[in-house]
Amino acid sequence: MNNFSSSRAKQKGLGLISAIFVISVLALIAAGMASMVASSAKKHTQQLLQSRAQSAALSALDIELVRMAKSPSCLSASTSIKFNTAGLYECSAEVNCSSVEIENKYFLHVTSEGTCGSGAEMAVKFEQKRILK
């Protein structure tokens, strides 16, 4: 028993300090990884919204071009389109048309602004086409 008491007296408590240090380092690593995952998820969501907004802008531009195929002129200066399809749910687009003269040639300049999402998580993309009248 005397041998046990003397070895116990020689211990200085390094195990507890080491355990606290290891736990602290692991907690910092876990917090850093959680932050990276959250940041990655936010970037992925924004990229998805931007892709959907571009699709909305291109779709609205195509819809307007089909309308213009029947009569090659600007039927209205501005058209709003709200999409209700699965891929473009909660997306909308604003299409503007104007006539432009460049070097004695008349062009129809059609622009489209696609918007998806709302508030802080919103993406907007612009597309345009110029057609010879």
Q: Is 42 exposed, middle or buried (0-12, 13-18, 19+ CB in 10 A)?
A: exposed
pLDDT at 115 over 90: yes
| Res. 118 pLDDT band, cuts 50 70 90 | confident
pLDDT tens figures, 1-21:
556 556 665 666 778 888 899
Give the residue among 37, 93, 16 at the shortest CA–CA distance from 61: 93
Rounded Cα distance between 101 and 103, Å, is 7
pLDDT tens figures, 47-85:
999 999 999 999 999 988 888 887 767 766 788 899 988
Number of Cα atoms under 13 Å in the Cβ half of residue 123: 21
pTM for this prediction: 0.69
The residue with greater pLDDT, 40 or 71, is: 40
H helices of the chain, where?
Answer: 2-10, 14-70
Mean pLDDT within 96-116: 88
